[in-house]
Structure 1
Amino acid sequence: MLSHITIKNLAVVDSLELELNAGLTVLTGETGAGKSILIDALGLVLGDRAEASAIRHGADRADIVAEFDLQDPVVEQWLKDNDLDSDGECLIRRTINAKGRSRGFINGHPIPLQILRELGEQLVNIHGQNTHQALLKTDEQRLLLDNFAGTTPLRKELNICYREWKKTASEYAQLKQDTAEREAKLALLRFQVKELQEFDLQENELAGLEDEHRKLSNANRLIETSQTIHFQLAQDEQNGINHLLNHCLVELQAIAELDPSLLPISELINNAIIQVDEADSELRHYLETLELDPKQLKWLDERISGIYDLARKHRVETHELFAHIATLTQELEQLENADVHLDTLQAAVAKTKKQYFKLAKKLSTQRNKAALLLAEQVIKHIHELGMERCIFEIRTLAIESVEPQLHGMESIEFYVTTNPGQPLRPLSKVVSGGELSRISLAIQVVTAEFSQTPTLIFDEVDVGIGGGIAEMVGQKLRLLGSNSYPDNTESRSKKAQILCVTHQAQVASQAHQHLNVYKQSDEQKTETHINLLNEEQRIEELSRMMGGMTITEQTRSHAREMRKQVLDLS
């Protein structure tokens, strides 16, 4: 529900703020006062096309901010799914600059206009000469009929069954296509798996092979250098490190008798001798493991080259080759058992398809029955709104297909004709805005309990009517705004909010809240203002609407009587 709107520098509005409540709110005023400015602003903030001409003369930018009191968990979930949630708030902003460029924001997040329109269709439904007429969409018509018929649990079951069938049928089609190419693919897979299995690659084998290859290919240098160091450590009796360190130790121990402080140094040299002996022993052991083996080196060359060749052949990295063997083996097993799996999938497709058509038939029965009842009730309200010769029909046309469809096996569309002798046409093709508004009003009155849109706006729904018909329109609008309907998902209610631009006092008298739109001009500027009227101000405005420029006490008395009748019935 729209709870607050701020408009700055739009058309002839300098700055305007409005608090709005549930129930029926009417906007009235003199011709040319700008009664539709609120609806125009709402259209823009909810994604309508913006032009620079909409900006107030002399201003750089127009700015519209609308705050909605969220009552629908579906909208709340939509905001969360799009990462636009802000603790249950819904604050929408639209700015338009002098170059005609605009930006949209939801809860402070910049978003594309398409997303803005998507949210707007869930928040506001505008009927009349404007956009956001969700009722003209066949998807909305189907949803209205289904909700009226109480088919929600059945539709959920049908949709689950449809998705299961779609998934299984897709798997079956893919496997069947694969089977058609099976022999060629099997031959290739068998060859590839046999080749890889015969190569007998071990996990992480390449790293070990490359280490050993590096060692063997440098064996000459390793042996020569190691032997030289071994000789220098211990084998040279005159200049070997071990011999020199032992000589130093004997000399130092001899003088340590003269100065005991040299004893720690002697200990360090003794430790060095031990370390050198250990190093020489390890080096000698290492030399024993080294040998020149041309055959092993050749085998390593061939093995490593084989691994790289296989990796290139299968278009994988060398470290992925071992896992690739398992993947190909599994794919081969699946393909070899494809016939069994194909039969299983075919049976599953047939089973889900049979279940779907069973549910679809049940849904069709409920829809056809509800279509007659809904059309009958809508026609009754349309006739009460002064269109006695209007014919309204809900057509459920079977979809000629042997395959399941997402929303059932029929298309649903509202048809109407307002002229005797003329064929019925889809509701979306109705040309007259006034006729469309009244038809929409009749449908909304019947289906209001199931409406998913909390705010309904009727722009000049009373065009071309007057007297008792106008009073009936007002009563139906008040009825729409007076009710609070169960949410269907939680133990709370959705409060209806109806906004209506009207020229008819009979309609305006029915409102819970009355807004008066007027212009103020001086030599430099013209501004549109909107005031919330108290009861006495409402009497004056109703009198003006009935009496024109000259308002008499008789006119005021008539206006008070109209209001009294409304309040007495409330």
Structure 2
Amino acid sequence: MLVHIDIKNFTVVKHVELSVQKGLTAITGETGAGKSIALDALGLCLGQRAEANIVRNGAKRAEVVAHFDISKLEHVKQLLNTEMLSQEDNPDECFIRRVVSAEGRSKAFINGIAVNLSQVKALGSKLIHIHGQNDHHQFLKSENQLSLLDGYAQHQNLLEHTVDSYQQYKKQSQELKALQDAQQQRLDRLSLLQYQVDELDEFAIAQGEFENIEAQFKKLNSVQDLRETAEKSCYALKDDDNGNVIAMLNTVNKELGELLNSDDALQSTYDLLQSASIQLEEAYGELSNYQSSLESDPAQLALIEQRYSDALDIARKHKVAPELLHETHASLAEELSQLNKQEASLQAIEESCEKALSAYRNSATALHQSRATAAQQLSKEIATSIQQMNLPHAVVNTHVEHDESSAPSARGNDKIEILVSVNPGQAPDLMEKVVSGGELARIGLAIQVIRSRDFSIPTMVFDEVDTGISGQTASIVGKLLHSLGAQSQVICVTHLPQVAAQGHHQLFVTKLTDGKSTETKVLQLTKQERVNEIARLLAGDELTDTAIANAKDLLKVS
């Protein structure tokens, strides 16, 4: 509940402090005095847009502080605790402060802690509901009528379940659409990959195989040259009877060996030549064996040549080095496997999407059934309320149409229409077609009272919602607000004496000027001051005995 509001340098207000009590508080005042300023300041404090022109002329900043008693609002305490904004020393109180500089910069605080406007709005929506002068026009819109019905039905669990099932379906359908959009491209790639992998599977090149094939191909392709070269080398080393390298080296070694006794300085040279002779013999032996091993095998050469050529051709297709064919094969096979999994995943997601849609339809149907039931009772309550406001023949029908074929939405698949008739013989129709401005205001007020009661918000503010009514209807409206004030805290800006007289408390707004500046003041009226103010509302500025008597009668005072 709102306990206190402190307003400084807000438009024409220099400084106003208001203590607000339980029950219905009526705010009255002269035309143009600024009766709605306090409510505008409260709206600013609760997160409405701030502009530099709201700062009083000559002031550096405007400031509004609202003090709330939240001792019985456990959901508000929980929100503050979650956001770490509660007061540890006094968790039953909450302060919201808004400061706007002359340059238009704005800051907001909850219990002295700087916060953003979304946090202020989230908290404010649980503390106060403000009904503006023309808010009844909002009920002409189907989406607002749907919100009204949901609030009245109090089926938050069904709403949340529908939202959850819708979000799940939306997620599944987005995944499905992404796969479907890419399906043709994926199928084309799948076809190409299948062909490539099948070809590489058939070729089945092993890791390191190409290097081996290349070496064999070069060897088999050069057998004749290798054999001729080996034969010439063996002939030069040992097989030439007319003179060969090994024979000549042996002769040199024999002659040097005979001279070692004459000069031992030749020993090192002799040893080197002996070693060379041994190595040449070994080289000759290996070369002779190599020559013997060389066989010309045209069939083997043809096989190796074909394998080598095929490897080069396939590598050229894939634009990779032939040495990388094995790795390319593995990479393409993995990509093919992943694409096949995506095809399987597409089928699975199609099935999941169907299940999610079915779950959503069930949730939306349950929500519709609850709405349809609540709509009947809501129609009766609205009709009863507006019949009491001098519209005795009023009929209200709330139609809730469920369209399963429509696209899923977070709010279900219902279309709502509140149809009204206010005259005998008139068929119920859309409000904008069959009611006047004053009749719409009464219907809107009835809806607002019903909605406020069901929303269970501790403080309701009505800003001249009684515009367009008078006389007996005004008395009924006043009694409605009085009854609502018995359950919750209600603040109502009004120009009607019948409504003001129903207030448990009354504030008077006046405008003072010294010719240079203007200042608005808000005064708490005493019992006698209330009589005079109600008389003024009845008769104008001149307080007659009759007006005072009528005021006392309205206030039920002697």
Q: Give the TM bin, normalised by the shorter chain.
A: 0.5 to 0.7
SS at match of 2:166: helix
For 1:386, give the aligned amino acid. Answer: N
The answer as to whether partners of 2:127 and 2:458 remain within 8 angstroms in 1 is yes
Superposition deviation, residue 426 in structure 1: 6.0
Which structure 2 residues correspond to residues 46-195 of structure 1 after superposition, within 5 A? 46-70=46-70, 83=83, 85-87=85-87, 91-99=95-103, 101-107=104-110, 108=112, 120-121=124-125, 123-129=127-133, 138-186=142-190
- Tell me which residue corresponds to 2:400: 396
How far apart, CA to CA, are the structure 2 residues paired with 1:327 and 1:137?
A: 59
- Tell me which residue corresponds to 2:504: 512
For 1:343, give the aligned amino acid. Answer: Q
Moved more, 508-517 or 173-182: 173-182
For 1:42, give the aligned amino acid. Answer: L
Cα 1:175–1:520 shift into 2, 3 Å: closer
- Tell me which residue corresponds to 2:461: 457
Superposed CA deviations along residues 175-211 of structure 1, whole A, max 9, x for unmatched, are 444554434544788889x99x9879xxxxxxxxxxx
Identical residues among aligned pairs (%): 38
Superposition deviation, residue 499 in structure 1: 1.1
Superposed CA deviations along residues 199-236 of structure 1, whole A, max 9, x for unmatched, are 79xxxxxxxxxxxxxxxxxxxxxxxxxxxxxxxxxxxx
**2:29 pairs with 1:29:** yes
Superposed CA deviations along residues 356-392 of structure 1, whole A, max 9, x for unmatched, are 3233333323323322331232122123223457665
Cα 1:111–1:428 shift into 2, 3 Å: farther
The answer as to whether partners of 2:419 and 2:428 remain within 8 angstroms in 1 is no
**2:482 pairs with 1:478:** yes
Cα 1:522–1:341 shift into 2, 3 Å: closer
How far apart, CA to CA, are the structure 2 residues paired with 1:142 and 1:478?
A: 27
- Tell me which residue corresponds to 1:7: 7
Cα 1:34–1:428 shift into 2, 3 Å: farther
Which structure 2 residues correspond to residues 311-322 of structure 1 after superposition, within 5 A? none
How far apart, CA to CA, are the structure 2 residues paired with 1:530 and 1:24?
A: 17
The answer as to whether partners of 1:65 and 1:94 remain within 8 angstroms in 2 is yes
Cα 1:189–1:149 shift into 2, 3 Å: same
Task: Select which of 324, 343, 351 maps to 1:347.
Answer: 351
Which structure 2 residues correspond to residues 210-289 of structure 1 after superposition, within 5 A? none
- Tell me which residue corresponds to 1:41: 41
Superposition deviation, residue 407 in structure 1: 1.5
For 1:141, give the aligned amino acid. Answer: Q
- Tell me which residue corresponds to 1:358: 362
Superposed CA deviations along residues 145-197 of structure 1, whole A, max 9, x for unmatched, are 124334333333333333333333333334444554434544788889x99x9
- Tell me which residue corresponds to 1:486: none
The answer as to whether partners of 1:6 and 1:17 remain within 8 angstroms in 2 is yes
Cα 1:402–1:520 shift into 2, 3 Å: closer
For 1:163, give the aligned amino acid. Answer: Q
Superposed CA deviations along residues 10-65 of structure 1, whole A, max 9, x for unmatched, are 23211011122332111012333322221222233344455544333333332222
The answer as to whether partners of 1:23 and 1:478 remain within 8 angstroms in 2 is yes
The answer as to whether partners of 1:25 and 1:512 remain within 8 angstroms in 2 is yes
Cα 1:330–1:121 shift into 2, 3 Å: farther
- Tell me which residue corresponds to 1:500: 492
**2:531 pairs with 1:528:** no
- Tell me which residue corresponds to 1:372: 376
- Tell me which residue corresponds to 2:530: 538
Superposition deviation, residue 473 in structure 1: 0.7
Give the alignment's Cα RMSD to 1 decimal.
Answer: 4.4
Cα 1:50–1:390 shift into 2, 3 Å: farther
How far apart, CA to CA, are the structure 2 residues paired with 1:77 and 1:480?
A: 26
The answer as to whether partners of 1:125 and 1:134 remain within 8 angstroms in 2 is no
The answer as to whether partners of 1:128 and 1:437 remain within 8 angstroms in 2 is no
For 1:17, give the aligned amino acid. Answer: E
Larger Rg: 2
How far apart, CA to CA, are the structure 2 residues paired with 1:562 and 1:131?
A: 28
Superposed CA deviations along residues 516-536 of structure 1, whole A, max 9, x for unmatched, are 222334455432221223334
How far apart, CA to CA, are the structure 2 residues paired with 1:346 and 1:367?
A: 31
* Number of aligned positions between the proteins: 429
SS at match of 1:92: strand
For 2:386, give the aligned amino acid. Answer: I
For 2:4, give the aligned amino acid. Answer: H
How far apart, CA to CA, are the structure 1 residues paired with 2:22 and 2:331?
A: 63
How far apart, CA to CA, are the structure 2 residues paired with 1:455 and 1:427?
A: 30
Unaligned runs of 5+ in 1: 201-312, 314-321, 484-495
Cα 1:150–1:501 shift into 2, 3 Å: closer
Superposition deviation, residue 105 in structure 1: 0.9
TM-score, normalization: structure 1?
0.62
The answer as to whether partners of 1:413 and 1:426 remain within 8 angstroms in 2 is no
The answer as to whether partners of 2:142 and 2:416 remain within 8 angstroms in 1 is yes
Cα 1:368–1:35 shift into 2, 3 Å: same
- Tell me which residue corresponds to 1:249: none
Superposition deviation, residue 435 in structure 1: 4.9
How far apart, CA to CA, are the structure 1 residues paired with 2:184 and 2:79?
A: 44
For 1:375, give the aligned amino acid. Answer: S
- Tell me which residue corresponds to 2:292: none
The answer as to whether partners of 2:535 and 2:548 remain within 8 angstroms in 1 is yes
Superposition deviation, residue 508 in structure 1: 1.4
SS at match of 2:355: helix
TM-score, normalization: structure 2?
0.63
